[in-house]
Amino acid sequence: QSVLTQPPSVSAAPGQKVTISCSGSSSNIGDNYVSWYQQVPGAAPKLLIYENNRRPSGIPDRFSGSKSGTSATLGITGLQTGDEADFFCGTWDSSLTAVVFGGGTKLTVL
Amino acid sequence: QVHVVQSGPEVRKPGASVKVSCKGSGYTFYEYGYSWVRQAPGQGLEWMGWIGYYNGNTDYAQRFQGRVTITKDKSTNTAYMELRTLTSDDTAVYYCARTAAGKDLDFWGQGTLVTVSS
């Protein structure tokens, strides 16, 4: 059972927009920055968003992040078939003194 | 260019230990921490622990306390994760990830498959 809660799957058509939610508590999301990671099957995870809404160099602005209270959201616009992957949210938990992840959300681009 | 390169696959028998390494290049090694994350087949990401930048303090996930040790060698720009008393449940891909001050894991190694089998 993951500390952070994500929907198991989301889907949308190419060109459309999708959002992935990540729900936590006051000791993790409510108190710390949220990151988002993309993992293509067979590859290592890659950082997509850090510090709630910042994109590392090379990540297109189709990817965005936001945080409100104890929840965070990843948004992806202009969906492409190449975006199909598993997406994980992560943050520090001040009570557990540990990094915690969501269970992951599988994105299907129909 | 930042690179994080891990050691190769390992096979161990139940009860044994394994030590995986992670070498960083293209940046100042000691200015970052290093997290270890594992992923069992078909499962999500599980954080095991990390070693901090500068002072080398460690934090471990509660379920691995007493069974895992994370270290780093500044002279060789290498971080290590040792896991002891292995069981078949420890069969997984183990990732090392450079960890920034905000606890975001910004560069990941390619992963190391550890198989525990009798």
Residue B31 has pLDDT above 90, yes or no: no
| Interface check B113 vs A, CB under 8 A | no
Beta strands in chain B (DSSP E): 3-6, 10-12, 18-25, 33-39, 46-51, 58-60, 68-73, 78-83, 92-99, 105-108, 112-116
**What does the alpha-carbon distance between residue A14 and residue A34 come to, in Å, rounded to a whole number?**
27
Q: Measuring CA to CA, how many Å separate B46 from each of A12, A20, A99, A100, B61?
A: 28, 20, 9, 8, 9
Q: End-to-end CA distance of chain A: give it in Å, rounded.
A: 29
Mean pLDDT of B14-29: 94
- What does the block give as tokens for A72? 């965070």
Q: What is the per-residue pLDDT for A75?
A: 98
Proportion of chain B above pLDDT 90, given as a percent? 81
Least confident range from A39-43, A77-81, B25-29, B68-72: namely B25-29
**What does the alpha-carbon distance between residue A8 and residue A96 come to, in Å, rounded to a whole number?**
24
| Interface check B33 vs A, CB under 8 A | no
Residue B78 has pLDDT above 80, yes or no: yes
Over residues B48-58, the pLDDT tens digits come to 999 988 778 99
Over residues B86-118, the pLDDT tens digits come to 999 999 999 999 998 878 999 999 999 999 999
Q: Tell if the CB–CB gap between A98 and B62 is shorter than 8 Å.
A: yes
- What does the block give as tokens for A35? 């990151």
Q: Tell if the CB–CB gap between A100 and B106 is shorter than 8 Å.
A: no
- What does the block give as tokens for A6? 């994500």
Q: Tell if the CB–CB gap between B45 and A46 is shorter than 8 Å.
A: no
Q: Tell if the CB–CB gap between A97 and B103 is shorter than 8 Å.
A: no
| Interface check A22 vs B, CB under 8 A | no
Cβ–Cβ under 8 Å, residues B105 and B33: no
Q: Could you tell me the pLDDT band of residue A109, with boundaries at 50, 70 and 90?
A: very high
DSSP codes of every residue in A11-46: EE-TT--EEEEEE--TTTTTTS-EEEEEE-TTS--E
A50 DSSP assignment: B
Cβ–Cβ under 8 Å, residues A64 and A58: no
Q: Tell if the CB–CB gap between A47 and B61 is shorter than 8 Å.
A: no
**What does the alpha-carbon distance between residue A36 and residue A47 come to, in Å, rounded to a whole number?**
6
| Interface check A47 vs B, CB under 8 A | yes
| Interface check A88 vs B, CB under 8 A | yes
Residue with tokens 């988002």, as numbered in its chain? A36
Which residues in chain A have their CB less than 8 angstroms from residue B44's CB? 2, 88, 101-104
Over residues A13-55, the pLDDT tens digits come to 999 999 999 999 999 999 999 999 999 999 999 999 999 999 9
